[in-house]
């Protein structure tokens, strides 16, 4: 069975280390797993129930929902902005949680990882992301974590895919997330 994991990155910056982590996860994914990096979060308008009307949902939000519904699991890459989750990632979660009772998360497994400049690697933001994603309807794998501190210096001269420790951690996260698809692992 092939597993499709949708990767959502909470940083829009072209040189984002979290984006690089997502690229590394896609490259390191084991056979039978596709990690798709969603492009276009910057185009998704802020969630507004007035915009979320059947047959007239903004195109960028509809593409996000379509990609989420076509996935088997979710992998969030969150930096830490002022001690919490970036707005673009929270906005994506809000769009995917709707319509109420029929959101795109639909009990699918999700994990949250990331890197940040600080000494804890963005754990506050990642914890907030886990909370929001769980409330929104995903089955968050609470003990599946990877927080990488010191991103600015650690990845100044190396892509995360070439950092052996990071590559090992990402490979383990993706493999474990793959193993949860279909309810074969407890959250």
Assess if residue 140 is contained within a domain.
yes
Assess if residue 141 is contained within a domain.
yes
Assess if residue 186 is contained within a domain.
no
Domain of residue 71: give its range.
3-180
Assess if residue 185 is contained within a domain.
no
Beta strands 109-115 and 3-9, pairing class: unpaired
Assess if residue 16 is contained within a domain.
yes
* CATH number of the domain encompassing residue 88: 3.40.50.360
Task: For the chain, give the mean pLDDT.
Answer: 94
Assess if residue 95 is contained within a domain.
yes
Task: Inform me whether the pLDDT recorded for 1 exceeds 80.
Answer: no
d(CA 112, CA 145): 6
Please count the structural domains in the chain: 1
3-class secondary structure, 32: coil
Q: Structure pTM?
A: 0.94
Beta strands 33-37 and 73-77, pairing class: unpaired
**Quick one: pLDDT at residue 184?**
44
Q: How many CB atoms lie within 10 A of CB 16?
A: 18
Assess if residue 149 is contained within a domain.
yes
d(CA 93, CA 98): 9
d(CA 34, CA 43): 24
pLDDT digits (tens, 9 = 90+) for 57-74: 999 999 999 999 999 999
Assess if residue 187 is contained within a domain.
no
């Amino acid at each position: 069975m092939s597993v499709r994991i949708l990767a959502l990155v909470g940083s829009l910056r072209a040189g984002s280390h979290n984006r690089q982590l997502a690229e590394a996860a896609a490259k390191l994914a084991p056979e039978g797993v596709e990690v798709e990096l969603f492009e276009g979060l910057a185009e998704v308008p802020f969630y507004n129930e007035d915009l979320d009307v059947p047959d007239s949902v903004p195109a960028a939000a509809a593409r996000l929902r379509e990609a989420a519904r076509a996935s088997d699991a979710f992998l969030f890459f969150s930096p830490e902005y002022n001690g919490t989750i970036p707005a673009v990632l929270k906005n994506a979660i809000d769009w995917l949680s709707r319509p109420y009772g029929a959101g795109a998360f639909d009990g699918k497994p999700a994990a949250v990882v990331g890197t940040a400049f600080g000494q804890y690697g963005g754990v506050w933001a990642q914890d907030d992301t886990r909370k929001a994603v769980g409330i929104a309807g995903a089955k968050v794998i609470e003990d599946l974590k990877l927080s990488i501190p010191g991103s600015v210096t650690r990845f100044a001269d190396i892509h995360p895919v070439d950092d052996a420790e990071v590559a090992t951690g990402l490979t383990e996260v993706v493999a474990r997330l793959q193993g949860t698809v279909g309810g074969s692992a407890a959250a």
